Chains A and B, each alone.
Chain A
């Protein structure tokens, strides 16, 4: 079997400057690469942001993505993350409709099982915060779908290799 359209995780350290996101997204559009998600935030070093990109494609495409990213002057380093050797997490906020006390109790129970948290409650809805692998979040969403999801926000993956090496 050819492993086509596999999911690949890339971590890029980039200079924290205006326009960097545009350079990267422009590159993806121009080269016809597909991005599943991008997350960006500060890294341990001042002036350097850390970006996690999830891309889909065969090996050749991903290799091109990495090379093209490396060509951008403001991209300092790009590494490919092996999911098996890394901590990979995504955060989701799910606003669920709750019409009865019973429904509310059930969702609280599910949230506990998934080690999530209730971060907001109103008379007919609540917001669940849940962290984990994408498939865990998928499973939770699947479970609560029948109650009615009013709003869903997922951050996309962020990742870090286990152990002391960088």
Chain B
């Protein structure tokens, strides 16, 4: 069998249905083999778009997303997308063309050391050296990407290996001696956790992205209700707990809900599930939940004790650990902490965010509210990065896992739109809305062509303030309003751009037009860009100033 055919056959055996990417000199044999297969290829207009689309596909579906690029510049263009997936533990497999093995190391045309470049941003990477090893390496790559703490895996495919013929065998399973993720939590530790939770007076649950990845949301809900414990999420955990639930506090963090930041600061026990306690979530560490003991459940032992000290660490898969925890909790006569519950409800009532602004130009919270009221809870929202992302995280309620997709760790501007494309390809039955800023959207706007040429319908809601808004906000608050290189100008016309790419564009300037526009976009058969003209210097508040405590959140 030819190498390229063995690659395609391996992909088929892993259940791959779609590949996002762009071919090039070093990947023509691979694309030639794809030509005969029933794997759908989606030609993006930039490799970064391909990587984010594969990531969005993975996050929306839980399946491995696959992207591909040629050697050299194609491969380096993938790296931002790979790093994004790595920071947010998203399972993607990136396939890169490479110059023929005899040219490797000779600075050949379009050669780059993509293995060396991606070592710190992949869970693992491989370079094919022979046709015979292709099936095994692909099996390993998909296993590594999708199990344990998921993450991106890159396979570099030299052109001669794609072209050569050899006898190959496809294994059903592979042993990886140095890779044994621990899934089942230690029973004694979980029993101890149950005891601590039962005895706590002010317990709080902090749900991270790990809850979504391991599909542990039902178990989490059950535990919260058993204990009457409020639930805050991290940005990555948004959707892990229904935000319409009385126990829901929303996100903690720099732009989290005030009620969530206050409640976690007051708590005496945190049940943290699948979170790495990122600095944007915790604020200054010395005053992060000063009275609380921490039970830290994570599948990655290296996350435990990395940023905060865990009083009780439990290494394992969130779903399995929470299942066991429920079992142990059921043995107790559970008293409900009604006083704590009432306190939390007071916070929620006092700090209920205002959204019903009627201003012109538009205030972003109003746009978010009207979008939320028009779409369903099954629909998927992706975000770009910056103010738009924080407005979405703060104001938009989500009730289901995998319906809020955002670049949390790396904070990649330009992520949301291609991720929306990937999400839509993974789940064509739901609507996908990218909440974007004008700055971020411009970073991968070329993917409008991918939408129009492949009949992929998403909605891009641009909160157009003509600024790199988050940087402008920091310059306003912390740099004496010296707006250095943040003004994007007035001349870019998103409606015309949309038309130029063969999709729909709608401009919205008044609050009364918002819902109408979203409804129209939902009805349209093609992608729609809605250009919301928002107040240029509108800030995202509340905010914890950098280096400050969660409770020092300002409005």
- Cα A23 to Cα B124 in complex, Å, equals 10
User: Given A64-B302, A64-B306, A67-B301, are A72 and B120 also a contact pair (CB < 8 Å)?
Assistant: no
User: Given A15-B178, A19-B115, A72-B178, are A26 and B120 also a contact pair (CB < 8 Å)?
Assistant: yes
By a CB distance below 8 angstroms, the chain A residues around B305 are: 60, 63-64
- Cα A45 to Cα B428 in complex, Å, equals 51
Q: Name A18-52 residues within 8 Å CB distance of B.
A: 19, 22-23, 26-27, 30
- Cα A77 to Cα B178 in complex, Å, equals 7
**Interface residue from A22, A68, A73 paired with B179 (Cβ < 8 Å):** A73
CB of A162 within 8 Å of the partner chain? no
Q: Name B282-302 residues within 8 Å CB distance of A.
A: 300-302
Task: Give, as a whole number of angstroms, the nearest-CB distance from B464 to chain A.
Answer: 38
* Max chain A C-beta neighbours (<10 A), residue from B144, B177, B178, B305: B178
CB of A134 within 8 Å of the partner chain? no
Residue of chain A at shortest CB distance from B153? A73
- Cα A71 to Cα B151 in complex, Å, equals 12
Chain A contact-residue range equals 20 to 34
Task: Give, as a whole number of angstroms, the nearest-CB distance from A22 to chain B.
Answer: 7
Q: Are B302 and A67 in contact, with the CB atoms below 8 A?
A: yes
CB of B176 within 8 Å of the partner chain? yes
CB of B116 within 8 Å of the partner chain? yes
By a CB distance below 8 angstroms, the chain B residues around A88 are: none
CB of A74 within 8 Å of the partner chain? yes
Q: Is the interface of A mostly helix, strand, loop or mixed?
A: helix
- Cα A49 to Cα B119 in complex, Å, equals 20
CB of A121 within 8 Å of the partner chain? no
Task: Give, as a whole number of angstroms, the nearest-CB distance from A50 to chain B.
Answer: 14
CB of A108 within 8 Å of the partner chain? no
Residue of chain A at shortest CB distance from B302? A67
Q: Are B119 and A23 in contact, with the CB atoms below 8 A?
A: yes
By a CB distance below 8 angstroms, the chain B residues around A19 are: 115, 119
Chain B contact-residue range equals 10 to 19
Residue of chain B at shortest CB distance from A18? B127
**Interface residue from B116, B177, B302 paired with A68 (Cβ < 8 Å):** B302
- Cα A23 to Cα B119 in complex, Å, equals 7
Q: Are A76 and B177 in contact, with the CB atoms below 8 A?
A: yes
Q: Are B177 and A15 in contact, with the CB atoms below 8 A?
A: yes
- Cα A83 to Cα B135 in complex, Å, equals 44
By a CB distance below 8 angstroms, the chain A residues around B144 are: 73
By a CB distance below 8 angstroms, the chain A residues around B178 are: 14-15, 72-77
Interface string of B296-320 (1 = CB under 8 A from A): 0000111001100000000000000
Task: Give, as a whole number of angstroms, the nearest-CB distance from A61 to chain B.
Answer: 11
User: Given A76-B177, A76-B178, are A71 and B300 also a contact pair (CB < 8 Å)?
Assistant: yes
Task: Give, as a whole number of angstroms, the nearest-CB distance from A55 to chain B.
Answer: 16
By a CB distance below 8 angstroms, the chain B residues around A67 are: 301-302
CB of A70 within 8 Å of the partner chain? yes
Q: Name B117-167 residues within 8 Å CB distance of A.
A: 119-120, 123-124, 144
Q: Name B3-22 residues within 8 Å CB distance of A.
A: none
Q: Are B119 and A71 in contact, with the CB atoms below 8 A?
A: no
Q: Can you list 5 A-B contacts (CB < 8 A)?
A: A27-B120, A64-B306, A67-B302, A75-B178, A76-B178
User: Which residues of B are at the interface with A, using a C-beta cutoff of 8 A?
Assistant: 115-116, 119-120, 123-124, 144, 176-179, 300-302, 305-306
A-B pairs, 8 with minimum CB distance: A67-B302, A76-B178, A73-B124, A76-B177, A73-B179, A67-B301, A75-B178, A30-B120
